[in-house]
């Protein structure tokens, strides 16, 4: 059985979707996307993901010609029809099909593509031992707060990490940590949690508000501020969060072990507390 997709008003097996070579998403990466994790057929923080999608659409002046509630219904129906309990829903909206011209087309209809596939959750080994990362220059454009489908710099950064047998690339701009190639990056120091402050150089991850709320519930100090590379390398703990990876400890960066005691490279107490509470959110979703 093939994974299913929704394409411009119709549900179909994903291998039957036919996208025009003149689609502006294909020619110009003129579109935005969103990723929604689904646990036991229930979308996780669904409203927050849809709100971010529509913010991105507004930022690039793209009218999707579908209301948020209508799109929500389409996604819910796709989730229902997809065989997997845990799913990852990918939503992409482009400016549509038109002759190649940089300026916006006058009459093109947006292309709406949604696919759902099995969500492969992190392994227990990743939770218990952590993952490794590298730092690399942030070569992306200056509007990273838009969830654009133009992801070539992210692709190159992630491939740089994979070539070194690492899980993630931590992007650095003028000495400041921005985010991961496909994640939000956090540090913990002396029991306090820090996340890069909001700016156009990073995407406001849905999990930022979640982790902030969990820190409040657990009485863990939380602050948004710039994080310098030297702070990253000397952190007691480094965490990454994303829709698909949930919350993971980074225990090695550029080959250097991260950890509270003698740079031991093991997941720390802050991670363990946040992961326990985050897992509870998933189970109660």
Residues 147, 245, 256, 266: which is the catalytic one? 147
- Containing 85, the helix (H) or strand (E) segment is none
- The phi and psi torsions of 282 (rounded to 5 degrees) equal -65, -45
Among candidate residues 196, 107, 192, the one with its CA nearest the CA of residue 144:
196
- Residues 171 and 183 sit within 8 Å (Cβ to Cβ): no
CA 184 to chain centre: 7
Round to whole Å and give the CA distance between 274 and 121. 17
Torsion angle, alpha carbons of 23, 24, 30, 31, to 10: -20
Asked if 23 and 188 touch (Cβ cutoff 8 Å), the reply is no
| Catalytic status, residue 147 | yes
249 burial (CB, 10 Å; 0-12 / 13-18 / 19+) is: buried
Active-site residue list: 147
């Amino acid at each position: 059985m093939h994974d299913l997709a929704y394409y411009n008003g119709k549900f179909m097996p994903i291998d039957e979707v036919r996208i025009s070579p003149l689609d502006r998403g294909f020619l110009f990466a003129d579109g935005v996307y969103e990723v929604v994790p689904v646990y036991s057929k229930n979308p996780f923080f669904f409203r927050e993901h849809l709100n971010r999608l529509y913010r991105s659409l507004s930022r690039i002046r793209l009218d999707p010609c579908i209301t948020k509630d209508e799109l929500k219904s389409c996604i819910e129906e796709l989730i229902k029809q997809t065989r997997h309990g845990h799913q990852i829903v990918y939503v992409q909206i482009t400016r549509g099909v038109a002759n190649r011209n940089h300026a916006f087309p006058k009459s093109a209809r947006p292309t709406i593509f949604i696919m759902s596939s099995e969500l492969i959750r992190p392994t227990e080994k990743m939770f218990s031992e952590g993952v490794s990362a590298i730092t690399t220059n942030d070569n992306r454009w200056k509007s990273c707060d838009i969830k654009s489908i133009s992801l070539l710099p992210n692709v190159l950064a992630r491939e740089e990490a994979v070539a070194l047998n690492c899980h993630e690339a931590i992007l650095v701009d003028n000495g400041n940590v921005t985010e991961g190639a496909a994640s939000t990056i956090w540090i913990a120091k002396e029991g306090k949690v820090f996340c890069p402050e909001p700016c156009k150089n990073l995407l406001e991850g849905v999990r930022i508000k979640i982790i902030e709320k969990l820190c409040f519930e657990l009485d863990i100090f939380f602050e948004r501020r710039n994080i310098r590379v030297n702070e990253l390398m000397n952190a007691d703990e480094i965490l990454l969060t994303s829709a698909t990876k949930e919350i993971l400890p980074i225990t090695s960066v550029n080959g250097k072990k991260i950890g509270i005691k003698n740079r031991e490279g093991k997941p720390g107490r802050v991670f363990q507390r946040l992961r326990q509470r985050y897992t509870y959110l998933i189970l109660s979703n």
